[in-house]
Amino acid sequence: MNYRHGFHAGNAADVFKHYVLCLILTSLKAKPAPFFVLDSHAGAGGYRFSPGGEQEWGIGRLWKERARWPALAEYLRIVAHHNPADGRLMRYPGSPLIVRALLRPEDRATFVERHPEEHAALHALLKDDQRLAVHLGDGWKLINAFTPPPEHRGLVLIDPPYEQRSDFDEVAQALARGRRHWRGGIYCAWYPIKSGEPVRTFLRTVSQFAPEALAVHLFTLPRDVDNRLNGSGLLIINPPWKLGSTLTTSLPPLASRLAHDARHGHVMIAPAGEMARAMGRR
Ligand SMILES: C[S@@+](CC[C@H](N)C(=O)[O-])C[C@H]1O[C@@H](n2cnc3c(N)ncnc32)[C@H](O)[C@@H]1O
């Protein structure tokens, strides 16, 4: 339980994850029926930046030029809401604040966090909003306890710290259980890409029970160096209509901008099984 998301808040992986989260929530809002969001590994909710932090290779790269990123307008609007009006970038909204910003009065969200201090911070942040519930506990155990929701539509966001290699297995098992338990729900799981093998195994496993699941990979460092964070992925079961085509257009320029060297910004989008095979060829 050493992981604290504050050290990573606003990095390139967060920008990618939270931009896609905004797109999924926006697509859920396209229909009038209420929806439910479960964030199984929620974090503290909001983070204050320190100079020299990972945000400098993430949201920091976009901030001054944000008017030039219309595809990310909703995401950038939420980040701006949590920062001073004079344009300084001082704080970052984690997934709970992004979810809260995009819920309508009739929608609901539940957040689970296992670290007592992160949970306390999140609870303090959200306690006055009747649409939101915050639980101290084990996200792996609670996913099926909170689903399927009475709304019958919505999203489960799974964003564990990957402190242990077994987190890939935990995610695959949670998705398999979730798929049986709430077949119509959208599931979105984030994962780091440091070396090919755990990702390939994970994608092959998922493709066996959710062949239509979409894998989206965004790289900001060369892909052929193992054991550092070269990029990250999102595995989306029941992706909203047109999400794949929207990302095919909007992610490549984002990857180039977030990459340490624009030539190494790279995006791959494919069904999980196909992505596992493509990774085998790299
Ligand atoms: C990557 S961070 C979450 C970031 C957050 N989803 C966001 O996008 O702003 C992972 C969080 O999961 C928490 N965590 C670790 N194991 C957990 C578990 N079994 N159940 C719930 N939370 C857990 C960690 O304390 C950490 O705050």
Ligand 1 proximity of 100 Cβ (cutoff 6 Å): no
Pick the residue whose CA is nearest to atom 4 on ligand 1.
43
What's the CA angle centered on 250, arms 172 and 42, to 5 degrees? 40
Question: Considering its fold, how many domains does the chain have in total?
Answer: 1
Ligand 1 proximity of 138 Cβ (cutoff 6 Å): yes
Binned average pLDDT, 10 residues per bin, the chain of 282 residues: 82 98 98 98 95 91 95 98 96 98 98 97 97 98 97 98 91 97 97 92 97 96 80 98 97 96 94 92 57
159 is catalytic: yes
For residue 5, the ligand 1 atom closest to its alpha carbon is 2
CATH number of domain containing 127: 3.40.50.150
Quote the CA–CA distance of 269 and 246 in Å, as a whole number. Answer: 11
pLDDT for the residue 85: 95
Quote the CA–CA distance of 160 and 104 in Å, as a whole number. Answer: 26
From 107, 159, 167, 226, active-site residue: 159
CA-to-CA separations, 96 to 91, 156, 205, in angstroms, rounded: 14, 12, 29
Ligand 1 proximity of 94 Cβ (cutoff 6 Å): yes
pLDDT for the residue 253: 97
Smallest CA-to-CA distance from 42 within 129, 143, 131, 130 is with 143
pLDDT for the residue 227: 73
pLDDT for the residue 21: 98
**pTM of model > 0.85:** yes
For residue 175, which amino acid is it? L
pLDDT for the residue 196: 86
CA atoms lying within 13 Å on the CB side of residue 191 = 29
Domain holding 271, by residue range, is 5-28+36-280
pLDDT for the residue 1: 67
Are the C-beta atoms of 131 and 110 separated by less than 8 Å?
no
Sheet holding 132-136, edge to edge: 132-136, 108-113, 36-39, 154-158, 186-193, 231-237, 214-219, 266-271
Ligand 1 proximity of 54 Cβ (cutoff 6 Å): no
